[in-house]
Amino acid sequence: MTNAALAGADAAASAPGSAGRAAESPVDTAAARRGEARLAVSAPDGLGLPGRSAARTPTAEVRQALPLVTVRDLSVAYDTTTVLDGVDLDLFPGEMVALLGASGSGKSTLMRSLTGFAPISSGSVRVAGHDVTNLGRGELRTLRSDVGQVFQQFNLIPRLSVLTNVLTGALHGAGPINMIGGFSGAHRRRALELLDRVGIAHKANEPARSLSGGQQQRVAIARALMQQPKVILADEPVASLDPKLADSVLELLREIATQDGIPVLVSLHVLPLALAHSDRIIGLRHGRMLVAGATSQLDAAALEPLYDDEEHDDDAHH
């Protein structure tokens, strides 16, 4: 959508519009079960499931659920440079998984591979029922609407209101009227509810540029939830925040994972934050998985080898 159209949306956020989402693709049960059987490390104790209370539930109960993300033997290369080599990953409903690694380890590339933005050389990737390796353009758009994303730099439109920034999360399924700037009353109410949930409903009518970094990241999280995502990817979401704000944002993401049953994959660079806020940790080094385990079974010493030698960030490849 153009900035002009979004400006119109800001002025007419309560205009009537149609709503709806594309039909959900069914999960390939057999493939998911094969993936679950191959998982080398058990999911941690205390993961939440959809429809349950916020209390963490036992590992055995969580493992009865099919993973919403299944990655097997994934390799990604840019020209002659291999960025990921033989990576496996499962994300189950209700868990928050920290993705660790030095700059250049492949963290961002792994996240991009889950939404079809990285060139998959070999292996398989399934996300919320979508076979990412075999999707057409229209199917990719549906996949990306099923995956909420939170970024280090927030990616808000500074001059638009907080409310309108959140409403942009509904554009995929909001109907043709929204292409000229209108949002339904139902979308507006949901956006306000989400802003209340993340603690900044009182800022709804203020321009996004007037908010602090921590507040802007909460807007970005509300926008991601506005998509009604099945999975959330958070790529270094607290890298530009001070430690106190970083803790509060990660607590919010873990609460969403637990209460909504949405798996959250969060890329981090600070070991204490990963140890404090995740259920499992996946560690990459030179594009390969070096660490995979329940956070309760890991400590800083076990994770230090991930950072033995820093390289250029894998983002430099594109």
CA 67 to chain centroid, in Å, comes to 15
* Alpha-helical runs (H) found in the chain: 3-11, 29-38, 59-62, 107-113, 137-146, 162-167, 185-197, 213-226, 243-260, 271-277, 300-303
Average pLDDT for 264-290:
95
Q: What is the pLDDT of residues 37-68, one digit of tens each?
A: 333 333 333 333 333 334 455 554 555 578 99
Residue 197 class from Cβ within 10 Å (0-12 exposed, 13-18 middle, 19+ buried)?
middle
Choose the weakest-confidence range: 18-32, 52-66, 106-120, 276-290.
Answer: 18-32
31 burial type by CB count under 10 A (0-12 exposed, 13-18 middle, 19+ buried): middle
Q: Is the pLDDT of residue 186 over 60?
A: yes
Contact 68, 91 (CB under 8 A): yes
Whether the CB-CB separation of 134 and 218 falls below 8 Å is answered with no
Place of tokens 């600070």: 270
**For all residues of the chain together, what is the average pLDDT?**
81
- Per DSSP, which regions of 52-135 are E strands? 69-78, 81-91, 96-100, 120-127, 130-131
Identify which of 181, 176, 142 has the alpha carbon closest to the alpha carbon of residue 21. Answer: 142
| 231 Cβ contact list (under 8 Å, min separation 6) | 68, 69, 91, 114, 127, 128, 146, 147, 148, 262, 263, 264, 265
> What is the residue extent of each domain of the chain?
3-12+34-317
Q: Is 94 left (phi over 0), alpha (psi -120 to 50) or beta?
A: left
For residue 14, name the pLDDT band (cuts at 50, 70, 90): very low
For the cut 90, the answer to whether the pLDDT of residue 27 exceeds it is no
pLDDT confidence band for 106 (50 / 70 / 90)? very high
Q: Is the pLDDT of residue 299 over 50?
A: yes
How confident is the model over 224-241, as pLDDT tens digits?
999 999 999 999 999 989
* Other beta carbons within 10 Å of 52: 16
Say whether pLDDT at 245 is over 90. Answer: yes
pLDDT of residue 297: 95
pTM of the model: 0.78
* Residue 235: both structure tokens together: 């790529």
pLDDT of residue 22: 35
* CATH number among 3.30.2350.10, 3.40.50.2300, 3.80.30.10, 3.40.50.300, domain 3-12+34-317: 3.40.50.300
- Tell me how far apart the alpha carbons of residues 205 and 36 are, in angstroms, rounded to a whole number: 45
CA–CA distance, 47 with 279 (Å, rounded to integer): 8
Does the structure show a pLDDT above 50 at 32?
no
Cα 200 to Cα 218: distance, rounded to the nearest angstrom: 8
Measured distance CA(22)–CA(66) in Å, rounded: 22
Q: Average the pLDDT over 1-19 and give the result.
A: 47
Residue 301 above 80 pLDDT?
yes
